[in-house]
Amino acid sequence: MAEEKIILVTGGTGLVGKAIEKIVKEEEKRDDETWIFVSSKEADLSNLESTQQLFSKYKPTHVIHLAAMVGGLFHNMSHNLDFFRVNMKINDNVLDTSYKQGVKKVVSCLSTCIFPDKTTYPIDETMVHNGPPHPSNFGYSHAKRMLDVLNKAYYQQHGVTYTSVIPCNVFGPHDNYNLESSHVIPGLIRKLYDTIEKGGDEFKVLGTGKPLRQFIYSLDLARLFIWVLREYDSVEPIILSVDEKDEVTIAEVAEAIANAFQFKGRITFDTNAADGQLKKTASNRKLRELRGPGFEFTPFQQAVQESVAWFRENHSVARL
Ligand code: NDP
């Protein structure tokens, strides 16, 4: 008989957590798996005692660790200390408690934005620690890199498979639309929504529009996360990203959002605002090799369309 799994998803109420919940319910249900999605309201994971209580309550055999202090470029630039300290505490508490309470497997979450600033492209999984991250988000980046250090040390000292995935930029339903702390896609969706509400005809985008980014739809990431939990057995991180050819400029992102809203006004660029890294192209070769043929990413325009539709329908409950 298959072993019963109790899978605890920390950060289970955020963008990625909600997507995993939907895919588990609608596509990937299995009788031998019980999934539990928790938010900070149930336990503050930056506090060790709360973390221990949460784990004692649910007794997970597996953990998907998503909980983190997360923000876009402008939030990161002004709060590097907070991003470092809070995320270091959360990660240490979650892995320490997982180990002490006998969790068999933990899949934590890094990000392609933590890679070295000066690097060769495409970036791959072997380059996480090769040089300093971009100065704009060094606090978040170093805290995330330490997850990989912890995973390797737990494996070396205790032989447990605590691993990590490295997603590119994520977007989708249940994103954070707060103008101060959002990532670029939800930030622009919110901005254009507000512009249209006010009858405006100018969609103002911060920066030059030139930076290149890879974006993964949260539901695609969710499918890959579930595959990693079930099938991927290495401690080494794995990049979960769309293909290199699917990289888009911020200007193309703005156009896709304008299309989804059927906005007919002007798109303008505030070239005085920061751009962040010009590109951070990541290779998904390892994923493509291990996952095999057949995995298709949702086309970008369709995913943006669905995300905009979600925001319009759920404006009253969205994180603004
Ligand atoms: P969200 O901001 O949407 O969600 C964050 C989640 O973490 C929420 O459930 C939140 O709970 C929880 N959380 C935050 N602080 C604490 C805390 N102190 N204790 C317990 N729970 C906490 O994040 P995403 O879904 O976007 O991100 C999920 C993971 O993916 C993160 O690790 C992030 O670094 C990573 N990632 C995200 C990318 C992106 O583009 N969004 C790109 C690459 C990686 P509550 O709802 O109660 O606040």
Predicted local confidence at residue 279, as pLDDT: 87
**By the 8 A CB rule, do 116 and 144 touch?**
no
CA-to-CA distance for 144 and 150, rounded, in angstroms?
10
- Where the chain has pLDDT below 70, the residues are 1-2
What ligand 1 atom has the least distance to the C-alpha of 86?
A: 18
Please, which residues have CB within 8 angstroms of residue 273's CB and are 6 or more apart in sequence? 206, 207
Domain 5-173+214-243+280-298 classified CATH 3.40.50.720?
yes
Alpha helices in 125-267 (DSSP H): 138-158, 184-197, 218-231, 250-260
Q: With a threshold of 0.90, does the pTM exceed it?
A: yes
Question: Can you tell me which residue has the tokens 């995320």?
Answer: 87
CA-to-CA distance for 185 and 189, rounded, in angstroms?
6
From 8, 10, 16, mutation site for ligand 1 pocket: most ligand atoms within 8 A of C-beta: 16
Q: Is the CB of 19 under 6 A from ligand 1?
A: no
ipTM: 0.99
User: What tens digit of pLDDT does each residue of 208-245 get?
Assistant: 999 999 999 999 999 999 999 999 999 999 999 999 99
Query: What residue type is assigned to position 70 of the chain?
Result: V
Our CA dihedral for 180, 183, 184, 190, rounded to 10 degrees, sits at: -60
Active site residues: 140
As given in the structure block, the two tokens for residue 115 are 């890679």
* Burial (CB count within 10 angstroms: exposed 0-12, middle 13-18, buried 19+), residue 175: buried
**By the 8 A CB rule, do 58 and 114 touch?**
no
Please, which residues have CB within 8 angstroms of residue 129's CB and are 6 or more apart in sequence? 145, 148
CA-based R_g, the chain, Å:
19
As given in the structure block, the two tokens for residue 60 are 């997970």
Q: Where are the domains of the chain?
A: 5-173+214-243+280-298
CA-to-CA distance for 31 and 4, rounded, in angstroms?
9
What ligand 1 atom has the least distance to the C-alpha of 41?
A: 47
Predicted local confidence at residue 162, as pLDDT: 98
CA-to-CA distance for 79 and 282, rounded, in angstroms?
26
